[in-house]
Structure 1
């Protein structure tokens, strides 16, 4: 007997003419298939042929922006390779353009007399080149190295494989960044001498390795902003986005204001804990829970010491030491101008004319405030322009540092929650950004047909099932279940009955199979 006729139930699956309904003489327990559908889930059209059962899912249309971001994610490697090919072919075959194309892959503003480097707008092409390089490297390493390695270690589902690849990529990056930063710090005059962070100011030139280090870090964080906006969003998307913007602002400000020693120290303090956290996550995904907990303990210790002790010491130094060490005023010119590494001091009248010039470049500054604010922005636009220090400059940097510390404190409370779970035996599991959200999505593999009924291929779909099932039973005389078994690889259990029950979402996964190497339900 039919459990519920399709005419009496709007959401019931329509039956093809060749499929007969079960009758009273055909008990449902021996000659029927029970199919389940969610009342609120996307509706499926079931097509039954002589050799297959197909479920077709109707997806919600994607917005143009979503389609564009999906295209970016799926074509990161190819897009990066094409841009590099275009750049280097132009550099090779158009000699007149080499003066411009070389700026994309070489450091600019080298002083032959000193061997040092200045800063300027020609650094922008180099940073853009690095952003594209990081994009291509990240996508290719994740797809062709890290993801296959994860699968070889037993990770089968797509989500854990992706998460492992993302965290392993960060481990690789910080394995390079952190030793390089420590090397620069160890061979610097400010090694364990915080006062020397400020005595060089406003020296306009820096070693080439230090300049490359700062620009590479800047490009990496810019690329991270792109990543978190084109890939699936995590639970702490806005906190991470705010953190990245503050980090980029501090790197740019310290670079243009000639505070690269401070940038070097802060990046070293941040990189050490940023190395241990993804390493712990990789160990968690691979199932090494004990070593994961140990690594997480090292991460927590390094986080507290570097980000809440040493970083706070730098903030305190900005507040108390810079007024006593850094000369108040504005300086213009090169590093060797007037025989002084500080350059040429600018008087009050020159500052007034200087701010008028800058306010004409930046018309959003009113006449009433231009003399107070415009000099703060000139280092961002003119590499030979004035560099000033006064309480406004001090508080501009200090405010960004303190805001960054505030975000770090909020994250530290989340880290403490993880530590409590570790102590209680639940294991380390970072709550900040490991999941996209609370809703769990399942991936199904579906076959589709052309107009002649031929199976053309498979595609993926995500859906959520959260409503009570609606059930309908139909006859199985015209359905070739052996053909379905051959296609899907799913074996039926031996039973005295001839019916197959499909009561819900979990058994539909058994019917259709899943991507990867997930075990079939027995």
Structure 2
């Protein structure tokens, strides 16, 4: 029966096979193997290893890696496709403009209602933020990090990521504070719950809220497709709760309290990236000062003021809101109506913006419970921050323990990567048993024998002879058999002195 030919091994596989054969030949007792494996069995093992590694890589992991590498191109292509459809097909503009513009404008009141088409606006901003993030990081912030003297690749990426967060959270915080300061609920907790349900909101409020929601949805994708940190589970849970709260508060017409909580969160997210950037720039003293400001802001905003808002939900909502259900638009609002006995009224606001929306003790406790769950995650992070503060006090400097060492761990530089690639590409020597290898031996000049027939050609390095007693013979690459040819040899190697 004809034997099936196996596929040839790659250079890297041959190198690994050669290394294993040398290990087995040199230490047979340690490995429990008396001789190296055959080439055919090694080929099968490498083939099986490749198949098992390919099976371990799921389709989702491969897709995530591809998206990370091409996120800028994906975003640009989607945006170009949208603008092309909008320009080339006038009949489709009624639909395409919903991606770029706010929907449900009421010309009589000058405000915007809520509706399903708002999801198209959110999708547009998810794509836009993805493209902006990738483009700004790759073509602006990473070169800025390099010009600032940051050499390591990972440190430059971390610097760029933190700088992007400062850009976004800074813009979001200033916009949110402007809305809060010019509202009726500025420093007035009871006003957060008045006029429920608020069916229409200002255009700036709607724009701000939907863009913030798109950002957190985009962060939910980023935290799962990019390299995972030590606190991946906490980050993923935090983003899930944040997105759930924003979606629920938007559909239940509670954007006022959502605006306040976003302001409390964004102000903290300004100081932590700033401290990290100063760390990458090696401004240790200013970094420690910024970290101290971050700790104070974190405690006041996320544990004092945030819990004050939670207390207001518990204490003020029953006093300021007439429990019951409401339906209709802002101009023909009906209610309060009795709360139905079924659970359908809980999800109806997510599908019908002008339909039945209810608020009672159960719904209030549900929102309060989710906010307290978010507070529990913030408390876990607070313990990690305290550990960093202890390091600062003890003189070790500020170093965020919530995620991996960002840029200061041992990292191979580009030259080392190039050396590794060269090692993989070099053709390995064929396997030769150690018993057949030539033995290097130092001999005196008188013991050398010159062979006139071999002086004109080089001797191969791997050539050796075997003596009758079975021991490996010594070889020098040339054979010197008599003193008569010493002068000729010395002349060939440039050591003969003129007489």
Contact 1:414 / 1:432 at 8 angstroms: preserved in 2? yes
Contact 2:155 / 2:406 at 8 angstroms: preserved in 1? no
| Aligned counterpart for 1:375 among listed residues 345, 350, 353 | 345
Structure of larger gyration radius? 2
| Aligned counterpart for 2:77 among listed residues 82, 95, 98 | 82
| Aligned counterpart for 1:408 among listed residues 378, 381, 386 | 378
* 5+ long unaligned stretches in structure 1: 1-5, 15-57, 338-342, 353-370, 454-471, 480-522
Shift of 1:163: 0.9
Note closer, same or farther for the CA distance 1:8–1:273 as it changes in structure 2 (3 Å cut): closer
- SS of the aligned residue for 1:117 comes to strand
| Aligned counterpart for 2:334 among listed residues 335, 338, 344 | 344
- SS of the aligned residue for 1:405 comes to helix
- SS of the aligned residue for 2:396 comes to coil
* Aligned counterpart, 1:10: 20
- SS of the aligned residue for 1:388 comes to strand
- Aligned: 1:310 with 2:305: yes
- Aligned: 1:260 with 2:255: yes
Task: Write 1 or 2 for the structure with the bigger share of strand.
Answer: 1
* 5+ long unaligned stretches in structure 2: 1-15, 25-48, 428-436, 441-458, 462-499
Distance, in Å, in 2 between the alignment partners of 1:159 and 1:478 is 47
* Aligned counterpart, 1:180: 175
Distance, in Å, in 2 between the alignment partners of 1:399 and 1:192 is 23
Does 1 or 2 have the higher relative contact order (CA < 8 Å, sep 6+)?
Answer: 1
Cα deviations by residue, 1:318-338 (Å, 9 ceiling, x for unpaired): 00110011011101011121x
Distance, in Å, in 2 between the alignment partners of 1:333 and 1:76 is 42
Note closer, same or farther for the CA distance 1:7–1:122 as it changes in structure 2 (3 Å cut): closer
Distance, in Å, in 1 between the alignment partners of 2:102 and 2:438 is 72
| Aligned counterpart for 1:148 among listed residues 143, 147, 162 | 143
* Aligned counterpart, 2:227: 232
Distance, in Å, in 1 between the alignment partners of 2:18 and 2:282 is 51
Contact 1:234 / 1:437 at 8 angstroms: preserved in 2? no
- Aligned: 1:398 with 2:368: yes
Alpha-carbon RMSD across the aligned residues, in angstroms, is 3.0
- SS of the aligned residue for 2:296 comes to helix
* TM-score when normalising by structure 1: 0.70
Note closer, same or farther for the CA distance 1:426–1:7 as it changes in structure 2 (3 Å cut): closer
Distance, in Å, in 2 between the alignment partners of 1:312 and 1:347 is 31
Task: Write 1 or 2 for the structure with the bigger share of helix.
Answer: 2
The number of residues matched between the two structures is: 387
Note closer, same or farther for the CA distance 1:285–1:8 as it changes in structure 2 (3 Å cut): closer
* Aligned counterpart, 2:356: 386
Distance, in Å, in 2 between the alignment partners of 1:7 and 1:215 is 57
Shift of 1:12: 3.3
Note closer, same or farther for the CA distance 1:438–1:334 as it changes in structure 2 (3 Å cut): same
Contact 1:235 / 1:436 at 8 angstroms: preserved in 2? no
| Aligned counterpart for 1:106 among listed residues 88, 97, 101 | 101
Note closer, same or farther for the CA distance 1:395–1:478 as it changes in structure 2 (3 Å cut): farther
Distance, in Å, in 1 between the alignment partners of 2:129 and 2:18 is 58
- SS of the aligned residue for 2:253 comes to coil
Contact 1:73 / 1:230 at 8 angstroms: preserved in 2? yes
* TM-score when normalising by structure 2: 0.73
Note closer, same or farther for the CA distance 1:449–1:190 as it changes in structure 2 (3 Å cut): same
